[in-house]
Amino acid sequence: MFTAGATASVSVAEGGTSVADYDLTDADSTDALKANGCTDSGTDAADFTPSKVDGDTCRIVFGSTTDYENPADDGTNNVYNVNLIGTDAGNNADTIALTITVTDANDNAPVFGDGATDSVNVAEGVTTVADYDLTDGDSTDPLPSSGGCTDSGDDAGDFTPSRVDGDTCRIAFTTAPNYESPADTGTNNVYNVNLIATDAGSNTDTIALTITVTDVAVAITGSQTANVAENAGSGTTVMTVATTGDTPTMFSINSGNTGTAFSISSAGVITTAASLDRETTASYTLTILSSDGTSAVSNTVAITVTDINDNSPVFGDGATNSESGAEGSTTVADYDLTDADSTDAVDTCTDSGDDAADFTPTKVDGDTCRIAFSSAPDYESPGDTGTNNVYNVNLIATDAGSNSDTIALTITVTDANDNAPVFGDGATASKSVAEGTTAVDDYDLTDADSTDAVNTCTDSGADAGDFTPTAVDGDTCRIAFAATPDYESAADADTNNVYVVNLIATDAGSNADTIALTITVTDLNDNSPVFADGATDTVSVNEGGTTVGDYNLADADSTDPLPSSGGCTDSGADAADFTPSRVDGDTCRIAFSAATDFENPVDDGPTTST
């Protein structure tokens, strides 16, 4: 019985035949193996040679040296399956199923894809030559993780080989070659160098390179630009014109040099030759001519003059401006500015002048200053120095370069209808009016504003429906009964002849004042007394006396039906026979002036009767 069990797995590196030895045990006292007692079977058995090492050990080896790059197993995947069989003298057998994996060994040299030789032409002035790719039969990279690229040969000292990645070597000049000064061994601009690639297993491949340096005529590099500040002094270096190819021996500026602003040296250094002003000329396109003594070339360079904040901002409204604004608002105006510089016209906004303390200047944006009252002005209480509602203030805009401009402002505050009218009689008033007339009273008002105190007159309150308010003029409201009041038929809410009404004066600005009126209707003696006995009466009296009768009266008025004296008179055919008299405030008495005598009647008619 195999001590390793029924199965086992083994990995072996390519390039050898050895696999492993496997021990057995046997419960019998005899050896576990007979002569030739180690055999094999299975898919890949033909690739192996089993053998007996001793009485209890079987050995399995490859029949020939393994090659990872050329697998011989049935699956051609370097995984071999074979059964090792141990048999004893009694022909009793045990089998162990083996899985044997052949692993890759770095035993193949890298190979340059371009072959054993290559020729390259390289223009003078650059170090780059070429990259060379490699392949390797092994599963590992053709090059180790670092290094792996070296060189040799006559001109190896002129080059620097380097690893680009796991399968690429680069060859480059250590310094840019100069066609006019060749550094190769033959001094003919043909350089010979061997580029050598070595993998991690020290396997190598070499490519012999012939590198020819070609001549390059002088050329001015295109799209060159530079910046120079507008305040740069004469002689300031702006740029050095870059060239390729042969070294130029001469430079000149052929065109574009407006005002002879620039000069150029024989080395191609451009400097300022005159004062610059970005606001006049913001950029220059110079045509540069260069020659190496054999040929001449030209190209353009662009020079931008950069801005310096050397111009003052300018108010668009000029040096002065006048504004008018109604009282009660802090807003005055915004003032825009321009600036010849590319920077913002406004950095800060300040003010000065007689009335500067009354204002708050602010920056709205990069080209706008705002001036506003610090607190809302009151036309009735002017805060300006002249106390005439005409404010003088200077608005000052300063840019980031401390350049400034000033606009002198005259700001006139106009009156706004912002004050309520005020009744001259105060908040309340009482009035007594005799019945029988609609007139009550006129009420004057004042208004702190310059406008009229009165636009409309209205009323409110419990008895407002009994009145008609009207505007008499710009400062007077009139209240009158809508209908003639009658003391005896009170129309007020309490029916006590005391009318309560609010008279409201409103100006054109909708500001209002109210006076609460108490209007008392007084009684007039405008109603006749009325005899309680009616319009007629008949009385019989005995002769010999003067008494006739007393007649009571009523009166709708609050006064007595009769005055304090008199008030009782008579008339008629027999009036001369009687004496009327006042008994009291509501009684008249009638009596004969002399004692009656039935036998001697004095009445006007034929019978004795009254």
pLDDT tens digits, residue range 147-201? 999 999 999 999 999 999 999 999 999 999 999 899 999 999 999 999 999 999 9
Q: Which two tokens stand for residue 437?
A: 């007339």
Q: Are 153 and 161 in contact (CB under 8 A)?
A: no
Q: What is the mean pLDDT of residues 141-151?
A: 93
User: CA-CA distance, 203 to 89, in Å (whole number)?
Assistant: 51
- Using DSSP, state whether 454 is helix, strand or coil: coil
- Give the rounded percent of residues in the chain with a pLDDT score beyond 90: 86
Q: Are 86 and 32 in contact (CB under 8 A)?
A: yes
Torsion of CA 380, 384, 388, 392, to 10 degrees: -140
Q: What is the mean pLDDT of residues 391-412?
A: 98
**Residue 481: exposure state from Cβ atoms within 10 A (0-12, 13-18, ≥19):** buried
The pLDDT assigned to 553 comes to: 87
The pLDDT assigned to 610 comes to: 41
User: CA-CA distance, 550 to 587, in Å (whole number)?
Assistant: 6
With 80 as the cut, is the pLDDT of residue 134 above it? yes
**Residue 586: exposure state from Cβ atoms within 10 A (0-12, 13-18, ≥19):** middle
Q: Are 124 and 215 in contact (CB under 8 A)?
A: yes
Q: How far is CA 327 from CA 81, 334, 358, 381, in A?
A: 108, 18, 13, 10
Q: Are 274 and 260 in contact (CB under 8 A)?
A: yes
Phi (first) and psi of residue 483, to 5 degrees: -140, 155
- Indicate the residue type of 50: P
The pLDDT assigned to 385 comes to: 97
- Indicate the residue type of 416: A
Q: How far is CA 445 from CA 123, 381, 471, in A?
A: 105, 21, 11
Which residue reads 């407002």 in tokens?
Answer: 464
The pLDDT assigned to 294 comes to: 82
> What region does 305 belong to: left with phi over 0, alpha with psi -120 to 50, or beta?
beta
Average per-residue pLDDT in the chain?
A: 94
Q: Express each pLDDT in 17-64 by its tens digit.
A: 999 999 999 999 888 899 999 999 999 999 999 999 999 999 999 999
Neighbours of 396 (CB within 10 A): 20
Q: Which two tokens stand for residue 602?
A: 């004095």
The pLDDT assigned to 222 comes to: 95
User: CA-CA distance, 409 to 162, in Å (whole number)?
Assistant: 76
User: CA-CA distance, 61 to 10, in Å (whole number)?
Assistant: 12
Q: How confident is the model at residue 606 (pLDDT cuts 50, 70, 90)?
A: low
User: CA-CA distance, 475 to 448, in Å (whole number)?
Assistant: 12
- Using DSSP, state whether 119 is helix, strand or coil: strand
Q: What is the mean pLDDT of residues 381-386?
A: 96
The pLDDT assigned to 608 comes to: 44
Q: Are 228 and 306 in contact (CB under 8 A)?
A: yes
End-to-end CA distance of the chain: 181
Which residue reads 């009170």 in tokens?
Answer: 490
- Within its chain, how far is the Cα of 210 from the centroid? 66
Q: Express each pLDDT in 508-543 by its tens digit.
A: 999 999 999 999 999 888 888 999 899 999 999 999
Q: Express each pLDDT in 290-349 by its tens digit.
A: 998 888 999 999 999 999 999 999 999 999 999 999 999 999 999 999 999 999 999 999
Q: SS3 letters for 376-443?
A: CCCCCCCCCCCCCCEEEEEEEEECCCCCEEEEEEEEEEECCCCCCCEECCCCEEEEEEECCCCEEEEE
User: CA-CA distance, 482 to 439, in Å (whole number)?
Assistant: 9
DSSP per position, 499-561: EEEEEEEE-TTS-EEEEEEEEEEEP-S-S--EETT-S-------TT--EEEEEEEE-SSSS-S
User: CA-CA distance, 154 to 148, in Å (whole number)?
Assistant: 20
- Give the rounded percent of residues in the chain with a pLDDT score beyond 70: 99
The pLDDT assigned to 449 comes to: 87
Q: What is the mean pLDDT of residues 217-244?
A: 95
> Vertex 245, ends 239 and 251: CA angle to 5°?
45
Q: Please compute, for residue 234, the number of CA atoms within 13 A of its CA located in the half-sphere on the CB side.
A: 6
Q: Express each pLDDT in 270-285 by its tens digit.
A: 999 999 999 999 999 9
Strand order across the beta sheet in which 331-338 lies: 314-315, 331-338, 368-373, 359-365
